[in-house]
Structures are given as C-alpha cells and as structure tokens.
Structure 1
C-alpha cells in the first residue's frame, strides 16, 4: 500500500463510482480497480461493495476512511508548511533581551514584514537573559537571538554586532551622586552596588568596567533583569550600572553618564554556526545585519 492508493481510496469513497473517480484521478478504471483490490487484500477486509451501478463503503471502509482522511490532512498540512518555508514564509522563533522589546525588536519586525508583504510570515517571540536565550538556541528551541556576547557559546554560535547601547550609572533621586550629571566609577566604590547575576551577559561587561579601575564594589544584590535592578535602585537599595533604557525616564532614579572608564554595550545577532537555516530565518538575518539599525540610547 502506498500514498497513491490512499488517495485513490478517498476519491472513490467520495464519488462512489469507479469511472468518475478514475477520471478525477486521471488514471484508467482498471488501474483504480486493481489498486483498491490490492488494498483490500493487504488489509484482509472489503472496503467497498456494489450497490447497483455504484459502490458504497462497507462498515470497515467507513472506519478506514476516517483514519485515512486524518492522516492525509496531517501529511498535506506538513507538506504545505514545508513548501511555505521553502518559499520564504513560515514562523520565526525569535529570542531577545527584554530591554530590546520596547524599540529595537518591534522596529525589526515591522520593517521586515513591510518588505515581505506577499509572504505569510509569523513571529513567535521569547524573552530572557543572554545565557538562557543562547541555551535555547543551541537546543533548537529558537531560530535566532538578539543578545549580549557570551564567550561560553563562541564555539557553536556566531555573534554579529548589530547595535550599541550606552551604559549609565543609575542612582536614587535623593542619592548624594544625584547632584551630578556624570561620574567616574572610582567615585562610586564607597556606595553599595546592585549587580547583574553571573549568568547575565552584562555581568562580564560591568565586571570589566571595575577591573579597569582596579576597584571592588560592595555588591548587596545580584539580579538577572535590568528592569528589576532599576526597581531596586528606585527604592534606594543601592546604585547600579545598567543600559540607558527608556523605562528609566519613568522611574524614581537619575541616570549619570559614565566618564571613566569608557565603555559601551554591544548587542549581537546570534545564530548557530553549522546548522541549516530556513529561508525565512535567513532572510531575517540578512535584513538585520544589512538594515543599519540605529544605536539605542
């Protein structure tokens, strides 16, 4: 029994007439009769019985038809999905840092969809910290990721820089440093700090800043998310180096420019080095890397 035979069977069940079914299938009537007989021999039951000049399904034929139609529907759906993917349509599993969700990612999605109006493209969006996003990328749960650089994944993942974001020091509005507009990190060492956890891609960046000034700040909290860090600073639990993100304008904090040491945060487009990339994902990769996305400040 093969796929053609299953389609012959469902067509004959629809027409209940060998001649009309054969015409629909564009085969000869003897070929159709032979195929149905072969199926019945293999199954060991009769699928059709004569009723005048027509044929009708037997009880076993009705049972078999329900299962065959479901199976063919699943198969046809899978074929359609693959054909759409091959033509540049389909669903993209996109992972990104939450801080990129207010400006950068919506901008990418809108621009990409506008350039591909004729295609059926869907996005499935996932947020998280860099380590978790890259882990999901390696485990094939994500197609492509926008994140920080993480050297632990450099053997498997390609990191392409696509945008930068300024780092600032945030303090509570009543903090002594709030009287200033800029700060040297050396002058922050006497105050308690809130740091990113070691699994965060930004932790390596912030550690690097303090290594440059040979300073060891007192860390009172370690947090994964930059927005949670900002919330703790807003409650005056400490000060923190974070990305200069839009939400800071609406919180009870003040952002100070870091004059020394000099540094900026890079965002990267991350994808697997040696893995097949569906056309729709490859198109998005090309769009992002060639799109000239603005810096986030």
Structure 2
C-alpha cells in the first residue's frame, strides 16, 4: 500500500471516528480493507499510527503527525476537485477506460468509484473503435502471464472452471480432468482472444486440440449455448460467476488452469489527476470487490 489519495482519506476517516468498523461503514468499504490500508501505511512509514483502547482506537504521536499532513494534502485535493467542476475543465475531469475483461462486473464497481468522486467523468472506450487514434487512459485486460512493469500491474490471478449443463453425467463430480474431455464440443471466443489462447494452450498440454463448434466472447451467450447442451466451456471462476449460476462449474484437476487480470495505463504524456484516482481505486479495491461479490451471490464452496 503506497501513500495515495485513497489511503490518506481512509486514514483520516479512521482518525476522526476513532473506530475502524464505524469508519469502514462511513466509507462504504469492508472493515478488513480499511485495516489493510492502515497496516500498509504503517509498514511504508515504519510507524504505529493507532493504539487500541477497548473497541476504539486512538492516534499515536506519529499518527497525529501524519494526520496534520494528510489534512493539508486532502484539503488541497478538495480545492482541486472544486476547480475541476468548472465546465471549462471538463477534459481534466474525464477518464477514458477500455474494458477488455470483467465487463459484467466493472460497471457496478465504477458506480462505487463515482460515489466517492462524483465530479469525475468515466468514459468507456470501445476497443474496436479507436477514439481518434488516442490511447485510453486506462485499460483492463487479461493475460496468460503475470505482468509487472512501469505502466502495467497485475490485479489478481483467477482460476478457470469447466462449465457443463447440470444434466451432464460429470456435473456432480468434485472436479474434472481436461484430458477426459478431448472428444467434447467446446464453446469459446474466436482466435485472438486471450481466453481462446488459454483454452488452446491447456488442451494442447492435455494432448488434444479443442473442437470448437461455436464462437463467442460474451459470457451470457456462452452460458446459453452451454445450457442448451451445445457444448462445454472453460471460463473464469470469479469474474464470470454470474454467467453460470444454473450450470455445473467444476475445477480442473489435472492442470492449474488460470489467467491474470491486469490494469495498464498510457505511456504517452502524463496521466491526469482523475485518471490517477481511478487507477488507485481499481488497484486497491477491484480484487476485493470481485471476490466479495462472487462469494456473496454465488458461493464457490
């Protein structure tokens, strides 16, 4: 956890309310997330910021020092946000985001960001229609490998599961082996999509090439095809949870099938303040949002 707008705002709220649970409720985040933020600040600064008093918390000497600077910093930030409300600065208020993965979950997640930053405009860029050859500020996408460089960070590693109709004879197994499904029909994205590359790679390791009978990169469409008994599919377990709620979703036992979800940002020019805010929000909270959303609405067992 690095010092940033979000972490300082969370720290300030905890200091004001002197209670982690109440502060988390006021911030509309989970209490463990707030605790991790505070621990991250303490580790980065090598200090103790709070001491416990029963169920309450109190600032230490170092905590009071950080609060003094955090209040100044956040006050300047609030002033900047007020200036950004001027219609003449609309461009500075707008963040462009290209979504190549997790398309079903990101809209509700962005709504949480808007609650905390109502003046920021988030423009979703269609990757198939370049915006006057201008690169988006941020891009959310998946890959077969972990990525970490000056303009990209891997958000989390996600397992893949095999989805089958509940009437399939394998539906009640605790897991499946990919090698046992060499003769089945598969529903998958077309070539060039990361999920298709992942399927081809794991099937090759199992000794066969998948028989693709229908192609789609839309989770809902793949769900309907599988539910109709037209084929099976290898899909992300967490970010696609809503796409197989009435299907059997089984882990793969003979291979560690997974993908990585990443966030990158443009390398040309400097990111605007609003783009940095959204980047920090996604990095700090998207994995926790995905995990809690999936587990609450469709427990993985």
Contact 1:137–1:272 under 8 Å retained in 2? no
Indicate the residue corresponding to 1:283 in structure 2.
277
CA distance in 1, matches of 2:250, 2:189: 18
Residue 113 (structure 1) aligned with residue 114 (structure 2): yes
Alpha carbons of structure 1 residues 233 and 291: separation in structure 2 relative to 1, 3 Å: closer
Residue 148 (structure 1) aligned with residue 142 (structure 2): yes
Deviations 1:113-136 (A, max 9, x none): 34445xx21223356xxxx36x74
Alignment RMSD (CA, Å): 3.3
Indicate the residue corresponding to 1:122 in structure 2.
121
CA distance in 2, matches of 1:214, 1:138: 44
CA distance in 1, matches of 2:217, 2:286: 29
Alpha carbons of structure 1 residues 101 and 275: separation in structure 2 relative to 1, 3 Å: farther
Work out which of the two has the higher radius of gyration on C-alpha atoms and give 1 or 2: 1
CA distance in 1, matches of 2:132, 2:197: 21
Segments of structure 2 that go 5 or more residues without pairing to the other structure are: 1-83, 295-301
Q: What aligned pairs does 1:183-262 form with structure 2 within 5 A after superposition? A: 183-244=176-237, 245-251=240-246, 253-262=247-256
Alpha carbons of structure 1 residues 293 and 171: separation in structure 2 relative to 1, 3 Å: closer
CA distance in 2, matches of 1:214, 1:146: 32
CA distance in 2, matches of 1:272, 1:150: 21
Alpha carbons of structure 1 residues 83 and 191: separation in structure 2 relative to 1, 3 Å: closer
Indicate the residue corresponding to 2:7 in structure 1.
none
Contact 1:137–1:143 under 8 Å retained in 2? no
TM-score where L is the length of structure 1: 0.58
TM-score where L is the length of structure 2: 0.57
Secondary structure of the structure 1 residue equivalent to 2:249: strand
Deviations 1:207-227 (A, max 9, x none): 221222232222212222232
Contact 2:144–2:259 under 8 Å retained in 1? no
CA distance in 2, matches of 1:290, 1:247: 23
CA distance in 2, matches of 1:179, 1:290: 37
Q: Give how far 1:272 is off.
A: 1.9
Contact 1:85–1:280 under 8 Å retained in 2? no
Aligned residues: 204
CA distance in 2, matches of 1:186, 1:274: 45
Alpha carbons of structure 1 residues 243 and 177: separation in structure 2 relative to 1, 3 Å: same
Alpha carbons of structure 1 residues 101 and 225: separation in structure 2 relative to 1, 3 Å: closer
Q: Give how far 1:281 is off.
A: 0.6
Alpha carbons of structure 1 residues 138 and 146: separation in structure 2 relative to 1, 3 Å: farther
CA distance in 2, matches of 1:199, 1:177: 30
